[in-house]
Amino acid sequence: MNILIIGSGGREHAFAWKIAQSSIQKNIFVAPGNPGTAQFGTNIDIDVCDFESHKTFCLANKIDLVLVGPEDPLVNGIYDFFAQNELKHIHVIGPSKHAAMLEGSKAFAKQFMKKMNIPTAQYQEFTATKFDEGIDYIKQHTLPIVLKADGLAAGKGVVIAETHEDAIQTFTEMLLHKKFGNAGTTVVIESFLSGIECSVFVLTDGKNYHILPSAKDYKRIGEGDKGLNTGGMGAISPVPFVDELFMQKVVHNIIEPTIKGLQQEAMEYKGFIFIGLIKVQDEPFVIEYNCRMGDPETEVVLPRIENDLLPLLLSLKNQTLHEHSCNHVNQSAATVMLVSRGYPEQYEKGFVISNVASISNSLIFHAGTKLSNDQLLTNGGRVIAVTSLGESIQDAIATSLDNATNISFEGKYFRRDIGWEFL
Ligand code: AMP
Ligand code: GLY
């Protein structure tokens, strides 16, 4: 069996690591991959959104399964692209273009949740033609006000305005000044929900589903959850407050209606659903859907899945996921992300990374690295994800912090307070 993983970060390294453990005979290719993924397969220099090159590669190399890591190719329709003609036999893990709109359009996701009665913040959506109505809506809205550019904006499209003036300014910048380009052609204005966030992950064939381990990521650059948003500075799994009772509510109020909604709306989905939740007085509300796994959430979720992942992925095509079990290990996992000084703004690349090979009690997932003359160099803002398993969250975090300290490169920075609420 030949498998192509699309993407180049810690998430894709974690997928390659997990799939490499499968008892099924396989060859793994990763496009474009990184030095971490190269330990488990062959890296192919193809951009994640270059569908034509993927097609040529997949046909030439008899690829059977394509696992898509990031959202861009999914939202751009890679699933539908592979569903055509001579690619039909290749099985893509992900949603159809229609279903990927759950992540690609915040207005679409809100409409879906409203229709399916899934708990989420109250909202209205506006385009430039309804600019004045939007301003009136903002003026009578309670504070703070959440404004969201409808389309993909690399995690930057959400603004929480503390005053009506700020909200009006943001609304104007998004809709009229095109601050987020076409992503801001529609703006969702929604109520602020106050609570603690977590994420649940679902693997579905569109009919059946398995719930994967829960996780919480730490998005802000600074300790104490301060400063700019990043792709994610660390993650833990499981999330201590996601207990059985809360999970029952998540299943009943959110997961079941989501899967039912996919069927009702004929949204083909054979992949991962990442549901960003907020717990408000013991009740779960959906903050967002993502149509893929999270990064760095994948780096704590996959190490906690006991089963061989490949048979589960293969079962999606024929909608036989229910024939496979998906058990979680009891151990806890924690990831600490090592980043380059300056990230998420300007940062330098090309610094030598040392002491990675000597680490034996953590999993090292490469996020932004490259090899040059056999030397490992930094090659991104997020550089390395250090994941550890432990008997408790505390143990797992302590090991990851220890190794985060041991690995060195110029300008290294990491948060020492991952999991702080639970320590
Ligand atoms: P999103 O891109 O939709 O995940 O939003 C990014 C972040 O903004 C979320 O992780 C939350 O921390 C915050 N956020 C989004 N919507 C809301 C809301 N309605 N109430 C409170 N916080 C929100
Ligand atoms: N860590 C957040 C994300 O992957 O969207």
- Say if CB 239 and CB 246 are below 8 A apart: no
Residue 190 Cβ contacting ligand 1 at under 6 Å: yes
pLDDT of residue 323: 97
d(CA 267, CA 96): 7
Residue 153 Cβ contacting ligand 1 at under 6 Å: no
Lowest-confidence pick of 280-284, 397-401, 419-423: 419-423
Residue 217 Cβ contacting ligand 2 at under 6 Å: yes
Residue 158 Cβ contacting ligand 1 at under 6 Å: yes
Least distant ligand from the CA of 289: 1
- Say if CB 3 and CB 29 are below 8 A apart: yes
Q: How confident is the model over 329-358, as a mean pLDDT? A: 97
d(CA 123, CA 351): 46
Q: How confident is the model over 336-364, as a mean pLDDT? A: 97
Q: Is the pLDDT of residue 407 over 80?
A: yes
d(CA 240, CA 180): 36
Q: How confident is the model over 31-40, as a mean pLDDT? A: 98
The pLDDT > 90 percentage for the chain reads 95
**Of 199, 277, 288, 297, best ligand 1 pocket probe by most atoms within 8 Å of the beta carbon:** 288
Q: Computed over its alpha carbons, how large is the radius of gyration of the chain?
A: 21
Which pairing describes strands 332-340 and 234-237: parallel, antiparallel, or unpaired? antiparallel
Residue 288 Cβ contacting ligand 2 at under 6 Å: no
d(CA 119, CA 324): 30
pLDDT digits (tens, 9 = 90+) for 284-340: 999 999 999 999 999 999 999 999 999 999 999 999 999 999 999 999 999 999 999
Residue 297 Cβ contacting ligand 2 at under 6 Å: yes
pLDDT category at 262 given cuts 50, 70, 90 is very high
pLDDT of residue 123: 97
End-to-end CA distance of the chain: 44
Residue nearest (by alpha carbon) to ligand 1 atom 1: 288
What pTM was computed for the model?
A: 0.97
CA–centroid distance, 78 to ligand 2, in Å, is 20
**Of 75, 274, 302, best ligand 2 pocket probe by most atoms within 8 Å of the beta carbon:** 274
pLDDT of residue 142: 95
Residue nearest (by alpha carbon) to ligand 1 atom 19: 192
Residue nearest (by alpha carbon) to ligand 2 atom 4: 294
d(CA 100, CA 289): 9
Q: Is the pLDDT of residue 181 over 90?
A: no
CA–centroid distance, 200 to ligand 2, in Å, is 12
Q: How confident is the model over 376-383, as a mean pLDDT? A: 97
Least distant ligand from the CA of 297: 2
Q: Is the pLDDT of residue 155 over 80?
A: no
Q: Could you give the C-alpha distances from 180 to 16, 144, 171, 233, 373, in angstroms and in order?
A: 33, 21, 11, 24, 39
CA–centroid distance, 346 to ligand 1, in Å, is 24
d(CA 300, CA 179): 34
d(CA 233, CA 296): 8
Q: Is the pLDDT of residue 183 over 90?
A: no
Q: Which atom of ligand 2 lies nearest, measured to the CA of 235?
A: 1
pLDDT digits (tens, 9 = 90+) for 98-142: 999 999 999 999 999 999 999 999 999 999 899 999 999 999 999
Q: How confident is the model over 174-184, as a mean pLDDT? A: 86
pLDDT category at 154 given cuts 50, 70, 90 is confident
d(CA 412, CA 238): 27
Q: Is the pLDDT of residue 32 over 90?
A: yes
pLDDT of residue 99: 98
CA–centroid distance, 99 to ligand 1, in Å, is 21
pLDDT category at 149 given cuts 50, 70, 90 is very high
Residue 187, beta-bridge partner list: 126, 149
Residue nearest (by alpha carbon) to ligand 1 atom 15: 287
Least distant ligand from the CA of 119: 1
Closest CA to 137 of 181, 187, 193, 173: 187
Q: How confident is the model over 22-26, as a mean pLDDT? A: 98
Q: Is the pLDDT of residue 156 over 90?
A: no
d(CA 403, CA 273): 31
pLDDT of residue 177: 87
pLDDT digits (tens, 9 = 90+) for 186-211: 999 999 999 999 999 999 999 999 99
Q: Which domains does the chain have, with CATH numbers?
A: 2-94 (3.40.50.20), 122-191 (3.30.1490.20), 196-422 (3.30.470.20)
Q: How confident is the model over 231-255, as a mean pLDDT? A: 97
Phi then psi for 384, rounded to 5 degrees? -145, 135
